[in-house]
Amino acid sequence: MMANCCWLRYLAALFILTNCLVFALLLDLPAFDRHALLAERVRLYETMRANILEKESNNQLGGRIVLNAKERVANELIMFEKKHELERGLHNLSNFQASQHFFRSFTKINNTILFQRLRAMPKGGVLHAHDMALCSSDYLLKLTYREHLWACVSKSVEKEYQKLLFSLMQPQVEETCEWALLSALRAEEQSDVVDKELLAQLTMYPQEEFENEDAVWRRFRSIFRLVIGLLSYAPVWEQYIYRALEEFHEDGVQYLEIRSVLPILYDLVGGNFTILNTTRAMRNADLRFRASHSDWIGSRLIYAPTRRVSDARFAEYLGNALLLKSHFPDYFAGFDLVGFEDEGRPLRDYAGELLSIQGEIDFYFHAGETNWYGTNTDENLLDAVLLGTKRIGHGLALLKHPEVLRAARLQNIALEVNPISNQVLQYIGDLRTHPAAVLFADNYPVVIASDDPSFWKATPLTHDFYMAFMVIASRKADLGLLKQLALNSIAYGAFSASERVEAYEKWNLKWESWIDDINSEMTS
């Protein structure tokens, strides 16, 4: 209200001075008087302009962070590098990597000083990442050298691997592909040839353009089909999760919430596994990692099966969620639904069942991951908010629903923004046009996450932080924004009150050390 009064006073004064200047000209007052009126009008205009920009700066995400003396010094170095990159782009857009497709730009981005600083930065937690796409493709390739691994090679597309499976015997016949031991394929051809073929099918790289979102998602799903047999092998699963924690930790992450479909594990001798075994292996990997990394805050599970199922199957999902919470109360965080949102059933279809367990299970719904407007897909945002979701995954259509946006802010629902995913899956082209820029400008609670970093050949979080800092946020957004994003990842993580306090403490220790490391460059 006070801010509005100031605006009105400034506008009224400017209006009066403008009219006075007009009358001065009509009355042919001395030039001195006219110049004095014009000078006052210009002064008031400049004052208003500066105040508006200052208000916008203070109101943007991170604008209310007060940096201490050490942080202000570090901020000078951070902003020097940021402005250097941006100035190159302003002079010649072809030199500006962050506005280009990630597949064209990430190698050059990796070599920038700013990226290296952000890589070392303690970024808090990743609150949106999927189980089958956590580890680097190089690590996945190493897993394919384990014995008894079969590949199903397409009958119609040359050198296309459709499935992977560990087995003592040749798996059952498939209609579209033929099974062969991967070790035999490597013996027939050079290993590096097979490795190159596999790597090409373990990521979306380097294809930048698809016919449409349907085509993108067909390619995207093909990677999941390929890796699920590799990763859900019981001797691999826990090792894989442990390696994921290592890679995220090395990238400045201290906390991870894994959205998992909870694949049923298998072994070579017909072991009887359930989702409890899958979850126990994940939790065991986290406990082992915590024991050897004192700065690790932890990881948690968001059970996230596919959204395109019958009512009966969905009821099983909810039963699974309740079972997981009872068996793993300190590891299970909540429930979500995943998959291509445009093709899946809307949340509204399941509203009755979800309302029946509201309060027992926390929800973290994907919603509004679409470019459509006025459809079931973008209206999932409304249902997610009404159902009490703790956060919204993606929410690209949120700005198209101002009432939902208002309700989400009132309920303090954070938005999980995944910049590179949004671009690779063709929802956004140039990331400067990302709708989250509006939310950054208005200090909406945002967290930055990476979704499926393995599939984009991205780091676990740093590349997404870099894109958010460089082009989704204002050119003037500084260390305060970076700090706010890290703090948000803890503020909106699935913690109890006491756990959150401990998480802040662990993060702050690393943050202060990072600031000291940057400042030491000033004196070295």
Annotated catalytic sites, by residue? 369, 394
User: Which residues fall within 8 angstroms of residue 197, CB to CB, at 6 or more apart?
Assistant: 159, 161
120: exposed, middle or buried (C-beta count within 10 Å: 0-12, 13-18, 19+)? middle
Q: Which of 194, 186, 151 is nearest to 170 (CA)?
A: 151
Task: Give CA 398 to chain center in angstroms.
Answer: 16
The answer to whether 337 and 129 are in contact (CB under 8 A) is no
Q: Burial code of 320-347, b = ≥16 C-beta within 10 A, e = fewer?
A: bbebbbeebeebbbbbbbbbbbbebbbb
Q: Looking only at Cα atoms, what is the longest distance across the chain?
A: 102
DSSP string, 187-206: HHS-HHHHHHHHHHHSS-TT
CA 442 to CA 27: how far, in whole Å? Answer: 46
Residue type, 256: L
The single-letter DSSP state of residue 371 is: S
Q: Distances in Å between the alpha carbon of 94 and those of 100, 105, 169, 424, 457?
A: 8, 11, 54, 19, 22
CA 468 to CA 428: how far, in whole Å? Answer: 13
Tokens 């000083």 belong to residue: 113
Q: Distances in Å between the alpha carbon of 139 and those of 195, 226, 230, 253, 262?
A: 12, 15, 12, 19, 21
Q: What is the 3-state secondary structure (H, E, C) of 108-124?
A: HHHCCHHHHHHHHCCCE
The answer to whether 415 and 447 are in contact (CB under 8 A) is yes
Q: What is the 3-state secondary structure (H, E, C) of 8-77?
A: HHHHHHHHHHHHHHHHHHHCCCCHHHHHHHHHHHHHHHHHHHHHHHHHHHHHCCCCCCCCCHHHHHHHHH
223 dihedral zone (left: phi>0; alpha: psi -120 to 50; beta): alpha
Please give the angle made by the CA atoms of 473, 476 and 480, to the nearest 5 degrees.
75
CA 375 to CA 219: how far, in whole Å? Answer: 24
Quick one: tokens of 193?
A: 């040839």
